[in-house]
Structure 1
Amino acid sequence: MTALTKLFRTTTFRLSLTYLALFSAAAIVAISYIYWNTTVLLTQQLHQTIDAELKGLAEQYRAGGLNRLVSTVAERSETPGNSLYLVADASERRVSGNLSAVSPELWNSVGPVEFVYSRPAPGGVEQRLAYANVFRLPGGYRLIVGRDIEDRRELARMVRSAMLWGLGVMALFGIGGGYWVSRKLLARIDAIAATTRTIMEGDLSGRLPVNGSGDELDRLAESLNLMLARIEQLMAGLREVSDNIAHDLKTPLSRLRNRVEAALREPYGEASYREALERTIEEADGLIKTFNALLSIARLEAGAAGESREVLDVSALVGDVAELYEPVAEERGLVLRAEASKPILVRGDRQLLGQAIANLIDNAIKYGDGGFASGGAGSRPEVGVHAETKGGNAEIIVTDRGPGVPLADRGRVLDRFVRLEASRSEPGSGLGLSLVAAVARLHGGSLRLEDNHPGLRVVLSLPTNGGVTGNGAADHDGHLVEIRPA
């Protein structure tokens, strides 16, 4: 397919031709209507003028006979204008008037008739069109009263010429404009097609070109670029997960195998075998939890979770989840302070949001145990969790007094299998914050890590239910759950 054929087959060029044809048809109809109305008006004026002339001449004829008619015609013929008069005898000789001669067809006609007559003009004689009424008088005389209508014929020629030239210029500009627009559009489409071919070949970093005009192609390209960025992010996450699974799960699987092998090498004993099996089950449970977390994150990022959404009070949800972590906080010697004031309504999946809050509290308890910082002399480490509204969003805030997360690592720590604890003495797989971030994205929110001076401040931000807080829920007193070690 040649470039010209490809250009002519574009939708833009075909639409340009269609619009040109429709506009030309509309222009022809409009010009024809105007010309027709103008012709009708001129014809009416012509007939009215000739009728008035005839009435005047008839009165003169009735008053003074042929002689009076001849003198009146001679008088009117001397007045410059487009009026034509002729009184001729039976031998076709002119008696009076400004028409010198007539054709046999006109002489033998009766009533209204169009005819061509000659008159002197600069450089010779010109032929002009006229319209007249022919009357036969007694004695073979003829009376012809008419008007020169050559201007009407010239008007018709000008209208036809203007229409043809107008259509020609319109067609030229229409086809030229369609060609120019099609070339520009085709160039952009070719650039988009080239980028998509590059992406299909495996280069996910390619993006569709945007020329900054803000037109529909720009808006489409921007939307597709966001989609491509998301796909690239998911593919990078998939590769990273594959690498992390290969590294992070290889160690527990190897440890599991070594423990079973060591148990087999030991002398037979029910107690040792039982201990080996119990540890094996513990390792297997840990692996199952890791795989379940990965599956949950994958379902969240694919948008296949959170179907059972409802309007819920996150303040009450924070209090409920905090109560479940009372035994864990007591074992770690922490003060867990959960504040829930007025109802804050969001629309979301209760189970997923509860799991996200639980992950945040669990992380704060693990790493905010005071081994790195203290709230003051004689005070115990404290973990705080509360909900508040800010800028039309509901924010669930979890704070601790632990070592915190360095600013350079706050983006990386949300990735899968990332753990900043080098010793890895705390149980876990590094998927907790990844799952919370996925839950936040699913609900149209975000997850932020901030400095608590000292410690870490984690903010889970969610859009409120229509920006309304405290409506539609039963009023209740804010409650304070303070969990201290015995």
Structure 2
Amino acid sequence: MTAFGKLIRTTAFRLTLAYLFIFALFAASLLGYFAWNTRRLINDQITTTVDGEMDELSELFARRGLRGIVFAIENRALRPGANLYLITTPAGQSIAGNVASLEPGVMASSGWSETAYRRLDDPDSSGHRALVRVSQLSSGFRLLIGHDLEERRRLFGIVANAAQWSVLIVVVLGLGGGIFVARRVLRRIDAMTGTTQRIMSGDLSGRLPVGRSGDELDRLAENLNAMLERIEALMMGLKEVSDNIAHDLKTPLTRLRNRAEDALATAGNEAEYRAALERTIEESDGLIRTFNALLMIARAESGQARDNMAEFDAADVAQGIHELYEPLAEDSGLTLAVSTDHAPMHGNRELISQALANLVENAIKYGQPPLLPQPANGGAAEGRDLREILIEARRDGDRVLLSVTDHGPGIPEADRKHAVERFVRLEASRTLPGSGLGLSLASAVATLHGGELRLGDAAPGLRATLALPAGTGEGLAIQTSNVPQKTA
């Protein structure tokens, strides 16, 4: 396709042609309306003048008779630029006036008409037209008074000529402006197309050019760039997940196979076979939990869980998680406490429960306080019980905060951004069981709901907070909290 062919097929050029047609039609209509009003104004002036003379001459005929009106008509006909005058007998013979000829039938009927004429004093006036009025006098005499329409014709010609040139100028300037706009838009679209072709060829780092005008194309490019950044991040995440799955799941799968092979080789009775099977089942459950966590993260990041969102109270979720994990915390030598206020929100209750459960599990697993000298009163330091894990649910402005605070070693600030990635396990936690997906799921759930996962310092320890948009509380669902899966 040629460059001109691409140009005339652009939306900008077609829109320019459409606006050009509408504007030309509007301009022509405006000039036509102006010409029509000019014509009407001239006709009104003529009729007013002729009506005045007709009344005056009719009154003169009534007072002074035929001789008086003939004398007045002959005097008026001699004036420069005089109107048309003609008085005839009942038989139609001319008595006085400056009209040599008229179209047939003009004098036969009274009233207004437009006719061609020829003046007695101007033989070259043949073909001119005039607006005339015929009135019947007493005794059958007829009087004609008219005015030449040459002035109206010239003025209409001037307007028509101006209209032609105006429409021509509008068309030329409109086409020129359309070509300019279309070329400018086409250059930007071609630049965007080139970038998208590079992206489709595999270069996900490409971004659409953004100008400084801030127009709709710039806004579109900014939004598409944001989408491309999100796609690039997801693709990188997918690659990292694939690599991590291949690396992190290879060890448990190998261990699973080795145990089964060892059982076949060494087990000598039913009890040993049963013990080997139980260890195999336990290892399989860990793998299933890991895959379930990956599926839940994918579900959250893809937005599929938005279909199951409803109004509920985050305080109920916190209370349910407290009841579920309190025995586990006690078995680990920790105290699980809860503090809640009314905090209505709109979201997927199951996923938010799972995310909060992951934060509690991490706190129980990794939040053991350091071995410090404990006071004799039972372990309080600076007014706080370092073995306590606190679950909180409260509303803060337009946000609902679900937080879990422990007093363990915490996460260094430099590692907090890295800690929410899939399969990431920091050095301090590598000796403990887990898959490194708990914080990843919590972060994905927070992003799904338009919120974020915040990792802060509890001095000592870690405060993990789900900051989510608050709801209205209307139609609050009354239901029990779903039992979450243990993923990390």
TM class by shorter chain equals 0.7 to 0.9
- Residue 361 of structure 2 aligns with which residue? 362
- Residue 8 of structure 1 aligns with which residue? 8
Match of 2:420 among 405, 414, 437: 414
Would you say the 8 A contact 1:368–1:382 is kept in 2?
Answer: no
Would you say the 8 A contact 2:204–2:228 is kept in 1?
Answer: yes
Shift in CA distance, 327/81, structure 1 to aligned 2, threshold 3 Å: same
**Residue identity in the other structure for 1:10:** T
In structure 2, C-alpha distance between the alignment counterparts of 1:316 and 1:107, rounded to whole Å = 104
SS at match of 2:308: coil
Counterparts of 1:41-60 in structure 2, within 5 Å, are: 41-60=41-60
Match of 1:427 among 425, 430, 433: 433
SS at match of 1:210: coil
Deviation at 1:274, TM superposition (A): 3.7
Question: TM-score of the superposition, structure 1-length normalised?
Answer: 0.82
In structure 2, C-alpha distance between the alignment counterparts of 1:306 and 1:131, rounded to whole Å = 80
In structure 2, C-alpha distance between the alignment counterparts of 1:424 and 1:442, rounded to whole Å = 29
In structure 2, C-alpha distance between the alignment counterparts of 1:117 and 1:403, rounded to whole Å = 119
Shift in CA distance, 418/375, structure 1 to aligned 2, threshold 3 Å: farther
In structure 2, C-alpha distance between the alignment counterparts of 1:2 and 1:328, rounded to whole Å = 74
Q: Which moved more, 1:110-119 or 1:212-221?
A: 110-119
In structure 2, C-alpha distance between the alignment counterparts of 1:107 and 1:337, rounded to whole Å = 115
Deviation at 1:437, TM superposition (A): 1.2
Deviation at 1:339, TM superposition (A): 1.3
In structure 2, C-alpha distance between the alignment counterparts of 1:10 and 1:87, rounded to whole Å = 70
Q: Which moved more, 1:15-24 or 1:162-171?
A: 15-24
Is 1:437 aligned with 2:439?
Answer: no
**Residue identity in the other structure for 2:117:** F
- Residue 382 of structure 1 aligns with which residue? 388
- Residue 147 of structure 2 aligns with which residue? 147
Q: Which moved more, 1:218-227 or 1:317-326?
A: 218-227
Is 1:351 aligned with 2:376?
Answer: no
Shift in CA distance, 135/424, structure 1 to aligned 2, threshold 3 Å: closer
* CA-to-aligned-CA distance 1:321-367 (integer Å, 9 cap, x gap): 11221222112221222112x32111223322221111101101111
SS at match of 1:398: strand
* CA-to-aligned-CA distance 1:53-95 (integer Å, 9 cap, x gap): 2332344345445553354235445666553557899xxxx99
In structure 2, C-alpha distance between the alignment counterparts of 1:448 and 1:49, rounded to whole Å = 92
**Residue identity in the other structure for 1:115:** Y
**Residue identity in the other structure for 1:361:** V
Deviation at 1:13, TM superposition (A): 1.6
* CA-to-aligned-CA distance 1:7-49 (integer Å, 9 cap, x gap): 1122222222122223322333333233223323422331332
The total of aligned residue pairs comes to 459
Shift in CA distance, 134/274, structure 1 to aligned 2, threshold 3 Å: closer
Counterparts of 1:254-269 in structure 2, within 5 Å, are: 254-266=254-266, 268-269=268-269
In structure 2, C-alpha distance between the alignment counterparts of 1:409 and 1:79, rounded to whole Å = 109
Would you say the 8 A contact 1:448–1:458 is kept in 2?
Answer: yes
Shift in CA distance, 376/368, structure 1 to aligned 2, threshold 3 Å: farther
Deviation at 1:399, TM superposition (A): 0.9
In structure 1, C-alpha distance between the alignment counterparts of 2:128 and 2:373, rounded to whole Å = 115
Would you say the 8 A contact 1:116–1:130 is kept in 2?
Answer: no
Would you say the 8 A contact 1:384–1:399 is kept in 2?
Answer: yes
Shift in CA distance, 47/361, structure 1 to aligned 2, threshold 3 Å: same
* CA-to-aligned-CA distance 1:386-443 (integer Å, 9 cap, x gap): 1111121110111111111122211111110001135622111000011111221222
- Residue 190 of structure 1 aligns with which residue? 190
SS at match of 2:24: helix
In structure 1, C-alpha distance between the alignment counterparts of 2:329 and 2:116, rounded to whole Å = 114
* Unmatched 5+ stretches in structure 1: 475-486
**Residue identity in the other structure for 2:283:** E
Deviation at 1:375, TM superposition (A): 8.2
SS at match of 2:305: coil
Shift in CA distance, 351/86, structure 1 to aligned 2, threshold 3 Å: closer
Shift in CA distance, 321/119, structure 1 to aligned 2, threshold 3 Å: farther
* Unmatched 5+ stretches in structure 2: 381-385, 479-488
Would you say the 8 A contact 2:311–2:477 is kept in 1?
Answer: no
Aligned-CA RMSD value? 3.6
